[in-house]
Amino acid sequence: MVHLVGQDLPAQELERNEVTIVQRRLTHYRVPFFEALRHGLKERGIRLRVLYGTTNSIEAEKNDSGHLEWGEVVQTHYFLGGRICWQDFGPLTYASDLVIITQENKLVSNHWHLVAPRQYRLAFWGHGANFQAQDSQSLRERFKRWTTNRVDWWFAYTDLSADLVAARGFPRNRISTVDNAVDTAQMRKWAQEISEEETRALRQGLGIEDALIGVFVGSLYADKRLDFLFAAAQAIRIEIPGFCLLIIGDGPERQKVQAWCQKHSWVHWVGARFDREKVAYLSMAQVMVNPSLVGLGILDSFVTGVPMATTNERGHGPEIVYLCHGVNGIMTTNEVRAYSAAVVALLRDEGARAQLRAGCHESGDRYTLENMVQRFAEGIATCLQSPRYDRKGIEWPASQG
């Protein structure tokens, strides 16, 4: 991990710098981050621009898009059923000193910027690998590894991401680990102000006043392995007859979820819930049951003190490194029997839940939006003061413009 510069970097050296972050689409949870980063960079004399595109038809069903009043929407074209994307942002970045893009194979417009002559620094912000890839030696994954060293800087989601990037030969001193997060400070305030009366009212509204509750939070699509969740929930219900499952989220698989809920009166789907309302629903639960694709949702666990139960499947996001088994959550083998047994044991052991709750709150103090903004801003400042990187080992002088 790179050692980042402090707050005392001379602002006059950076006052003419412009940084542009390009996003294929903007999700609602990124809006507070960009607002805070814009403010933090402005204090350093750096102007931030955020360019973002529109969703494809499948992503639109997730109902998780965001909006920035000062952001700039760019034309976005999808081809081959969304497998290829082109964004017309090139002319908008000519005056930028640093352009930050994401490492997605489908973004062919980004690939052009990797090989085209440029005056600005170019950086990746991303996972460091496709964590859902079935074959790490596939042509797609080999191409992704090839692109890793075609930028001047890396903003890695987590330490796991930084390790993957460095393993591809990218210099460690050009990697900023940002500890990917969301606005947990506001979530923490909501969690503290939600009363037992409010939680009781929500329980009564669902008809689950005295139940032990497992909650799933996430978008509803095939890769979430909902069949695994359903099978595990049924196994838990057999051992704990009063167990209820609460599902928070929306997406292409909503009809499948609705149909399953209709067959099982102890399962409740409440659709997508955000902000304070989501925290209120989470506060009812004793455990989060997300067996697959754990990502930023782990911060919901940390802030509310509802421990996460997941499996050791390979498809998790880089934020899975935040989970420490037996300290702030539990991780089992990728089997329904092992997973459901671990959840049952946790639900029956109030002392174990209390210990995990304490671990969750401690982790919640570390992985915050404020921490991420500071790390990202310092990484940007360091990048702007560093020479450009040539993959052959030649570093180009920093521009004076």
What rounded mean pLDDT belongs to the chain?
A: 89
Q: Please give the Cα distance from 43 to 23 (Å, whole number).
A: 23
Full set of structural domains in the chain with CATH = 11-181+368-388 (3.40.50.2000), 184-366 (3.40.50.2000)
Q: Please give the Cα distance from 172 to 166 (Å, whole number).
A: 6
* pLDDT in the model for residue 128: 84
Backbone conformation region of residue 243, classed left if phi is above 0, alpha if psi is from -120 to 50, else beta = beta
Q: Where do we find the tokens 């609460």? A: 246
What does the DSSP assignment read for 207-241? T-TT-EEEEEES--SGGG-HHHHHHHHHHHHHHST
Average pLDDT score over residue span 289-316: 95
Average pLDDT score over residue span 124-133: 76
What does the DSSP assignment read for 328-348? TEEEE-S-HHHHHHHHHHHHH
Q: Where do we find the tokens 């360019």? A: 51
Q: Helix or strand or coil: residue 148?
A: helix
* pLDDT in the model for residue 111: 85
Predicted confidence band at 399 (pLDDT cuts at 50, 70, 90)? very low
- Both tokens of 398, joined, read 């920093």
Neighbours of 144 (CB within 10 A): 21
Predicted confidence band at 345 (pLDDT cuts at 50, 70, 90)? very high
In tens, the pLDDT along 197-253 reads 999 999 999 999 889 999 999 999 988 999 999 999 999 999 999 999 999 999 999
Top-confidence residue, 396 or 98: 98
Task: Flag whether pLDDT at 259 surpasses 80.
Answer: yes
Average pLDDT score over residue span 306-331: 96
